Amino acid sequence: AQSVTQLGSHVSVSEGALVLLRCNYSSSVPPYLFWYVQYPNQGLQLLLKYTSAATLVKGINDFEAEFKKSETSFHLTKPSAHMSDAAEYFCAVSDRGGSQGNLIFGKGTKLSVKP
């Protein structure tokens, strides 16, 4: 069965600092992996996705993530945090590999950005 673990329910960074949000996955098949962002009282917006092509995936708003099979990780990074990045971030894996399945989400990491 597929699962996702997000390390750290809350991460706080200063504006301009590096953002690193951690995600580890478990999957019995080659995984498709996703990062979504959720602003308060809103739905989820896709930041980026890994679909077995390039291991370094670039997304919107300068976010990127690197798929590391040996570490079963898909950490999200951004070189320089902006105040507008403050939100909750969810890592997800497709529940049966490939893109056919439903999404299994982690519990989320809330990112705070200090001025």
Residue ranges that bind another protein, judged by CB under 8 A = 4, 9, 34, 36, 41-46, 49, 90, 92, 95, 98-100, 102-108
Question: Rounded to whole angstroms, what are the CA distances from 8 to 29, 55, 99?
Answer: 26, 23, 27
Say if CB 105 and CB 4 are below 8 A apart: yes
What is the CB neighbour count within 10 angstroms for residue 82? 13
- Tell me how far, at minimum, the Cβ of 58 lies from another protein, in Å: 15
Least CB distance from residue 101 to another protein, whole Å? 8
- Least distance (Å) between residue 29 CB and another protein: 13
Roughly how many angstroms between the first and final C-alpha of the chain, as a whole number?
Answer: 41
Q: Would you say the C-alpha torsion 98, 99, 100, 104 has a positive or negative sign?
A: positive
**Is 19 or 91 the residue whose CB approaches another protein more closely?**
91
| Residue 103 Cβ vs another protein, minimum distance, rounded to whole Å | 6
Is the CB of 104 or the CB of 113 nearer to another protein?
104
Cβ-based nearer residue to another protein, 84 or 100: 100
Q: Which is nearer to another protein, 41 or 70 (CB)?
A: 41
From CA 81, how far away is CA 19, in angstroms rounded?
6
